[in-house]
Amino acid sequence: MKPVYHMSTPLFHITTYGCQMNKNDSERIAGLLSSLGFSATEQEAEADLIIINTCSVRQSAEDRIFGAQEKYLEYKKQKPDMIVAVTGCMPGRDKARVFQKSLPATDLYFPTPDMVHLPKWIAELRPDLVNSEELSTDYLKLHPLRAPSVQAYVTIQTGCNKFCTYCVVPHARGLERNRPVADILEECRGLVAHGVVEITLLGQTVNSFKAIDPQTFSPANPFHDHFAALLWEVNKLDGLKRLHWTAAHPLSMTDEVIAALALPKQVNYLHLPVQSGSNEILKRMNRKYTREQYLEVIRKVKAARPGIALGTDIIVGFCGETEAQFQDTLSLYREVEFDISYNAQYSPRSGTLGVKLFTDDVSKEEKRARWDELQAVMEEISLRKNQAFVGQQVSVLVDKVQHNFASGNSFEMKLTRVPATESDLVGKIITVDVIRAKTWILDGRKHDDA
């Protein structure tokens, strides 16, 4: 395939909202466009093609897309042939294209898997930019274009079969679909060969992964659970130092997945969304587990990996949530003692079962008050748990050096920093003596400077 484009190199700019999977999807789009002869630009107004990769988890995320339309209309006054494309979860769930009517600057509007058609669509709108056949029928086979880094995301699964009543993912991304093990391992090997030392495996419910080619697993692999078996395979890659995965679902935390937490390259952190500590609210959310079952999983996790740091997601103010049910969430939080929680106030999403079945009857004021109370508990526990690291050593993968500090995540995924100016520390794993702990950061010094 020989791309044909105008005399100067066409430029693209991608704005990404939402989760790590959206970021990885944007890397695939960038890889596709680069193969067509495009170059990336940081100057949005100069781009021939602007792509907005959207998130639909909260109403506020979609509001930003609507609010940006005036800006793109202004760009088009100066550059009338500019192409503006909206992709991601918003068009994924907007089957009737209702939202598109409020996006007057938008030329292309498509769900994530349809990115494979971009060459054809661009050629139809701007024949001077590119004239090419489609590259692939499967967007997960497109090669991501990543910024130079020692860390990388690898998507192993997209879509979801769980249908939580508050969630748009099954509507936006479709049902669960798993990549072949062979493709995943090939991508991981390539990343490690190019200097990546930390890989994060991504999926909507990542630990529910089921291999479509289980024969790819090594005969020496000790696990029968496909996700645990995949973790074992990735752990065996020479040169890889750290393996992380997100986000897990409690129902898929099998005994073998829990045992895999003890693999040597597995980071000492697990993110396991609970959403609520009330059985009645969990039932309304269609989470399909109880408070007691979740706590039993946590007990097994702590036994398999003593000292593991734990993260979660919690929604406050879900339909019908009483003060007593919210207190159930607080008590569960204190019992587990999470290191961090990503807390959200319930936001009704059109098309979900939550909107169809329940009334959003908790006031905005009450949602905010409960969020504030939960945040306070989180910060109290986070500070106390971080203070336990004072006087200890942690292993830190440095990802940036600025303002006279080198910083990065410890093996427990805690942000850690040391005084430093050497830019060559980026990408290196250093040992840090922790001398002070704050709510969200560990301060220390390089062990060899002590």
How far from chain centre, in Å, is Cα 124? 33
User: 17-60: per-residue pLDDT in tens?
Assistant: 999 999 999 999 999 999 999 999 999 999 999 999 999 888 88
The DSSP annotation for 354-423 comes to HHHH----S-HHHHHHHHHHHHHHHHHHHHHHHHTTTT-EEEEEEEEEETTEEEEEETT--EEEEE---G
- Break the chain down into helix, strand, coil percent, rounded to 5: 40, 20, 40
pTM above 0.85, yes or no: yes
| Two structure tokens written together for 448 | 């060899």
User: 138-168: per-residue pLDDT in tens?
Assistant: 888 898 999 889 999 999 999 999 999 999 9
DSSP 104: T
The confidence band for 338, taking pLDDT boundaries of 50, 70 and 90, is: very high
The DSSP annotation for 86-143 comes to EEEHHHHH-TT-TGGGG-TT-SEE--GGGGGGHHHHHHHH-TTT-------S-GGGSP
Looking at the DSSP assignment, which residues form a beta bridge with residue 409?
A: 397, 415
Could you tell me the CA-to-CA distances from 39 to 17, 29, 126, 194 in Å, in that order? Answer: 21, 12, 16, 22
User: 74-114: per-residue pLDDT in tens?
Assistant: 999 999 999 999 999 999 998 889 999 999 999 999 999 99
- What are residue 28's phi and psi, to 5 degrees? -70, -40
Give the per-residue pLDDT at 8: 80
The span from the CA of 202 to the CA of 244, in Å, is 9
The confidence band for 448, taking pLDDT boundaries of 50, 70 and 90, is: confident
| Two structure tokens written together for 209 | 């992964």
Give the per-residue pLDDT at 449: 67
**Residue spans in the chain of domains classed CATH 3.80.30.20:** 146-387
Could you tell me the CA-to-CA distances from 364 to 31, 220, 351 in Å, in that order? Answer: 42, 54, 21
- What are residue 344's phi and psi, to 5 degrees? -135, 150
CATH entry 3.10.20.30 includes domain 146-387: no
The confidence band for 121, taking pLDDT boundaries of 50, 70 and 90, is: very high
Give the per-residue pLDDT at 4: 42
Could you tell me the CA-to-CA distances from 419 to 149, 437, 443 in Å, in that order? Answer: 22, 15, 9
The span from the CA of 75 to the CA of 171, in Å, is 32
The confidence band for 137, taking pLDDT boundaries of 50, 70 and 90, is: confident
**Residue spans in the chain of domains classed CATH 2.40.50.140:** 393-449
Task: State the CB neighbour count (10 A cutoff) for residue 398.
Answer: 26
Give the per-residue pLDDT at 247: 94
Find the distance separating the first CA and the last CA of the chain, reported in whole Å: 57
User: 305-314: per-residue pLDDT in tens?
Assistant: 999 999 999 9
The span from the CA of 101 to the CA of 87, in Å, is 15
How far from chain centre, in Å, is Cα 443? 26
Q: What percent of the chain has pLDDT over 90?
A: 90
The span from the CA of 419 to the CA of 86, in Å, is 42
C-alpha gyration radius of the chain: 23
| Two structure tokens written together for 35 | 């193969």
The confidence band for 6, taking pLDDT boundaries of 50, 70 and 90, is: very low
The span from the CA of 235 to the CA of 227, in Å, is 12
Contact 278, 328 (CB under 8 A): yes
The sheet carrying 151-155 orders its strands as 151-155, 198-202, 242-246
Give the per-residue pLDDT at 59: 84
The confidence band for 130, taking pLDDT boundaries of 50, 70 and 90, is: confident
The CATH code of domain 11-140 reads: 3.40.50.12160
Residue among 332, 314, 327 nearest 273 (CA): 314
The span from the CA of 370 to the CA of 366, in Å, is 6
| Range of 32-41, 63-72, 234-243 with top mean pLDDT | 234-243
Give the per-residue pLDDT at 185: 98
Q: Which CATH class is domain 393-449?
A: mainly beta
**Residue spans in the chain of domains classed CATH 3.40.50.12160:** 11-140
Element (H, E) at 242: strand 242-246
Q: Is 273 a residue whose pLDDT tops 60?
A: yes
Could you tell me the CA-to-CA distances from 380 to 52, 131, 208, 307 in Å, in that order? Answer: 37, 58, 33, 18
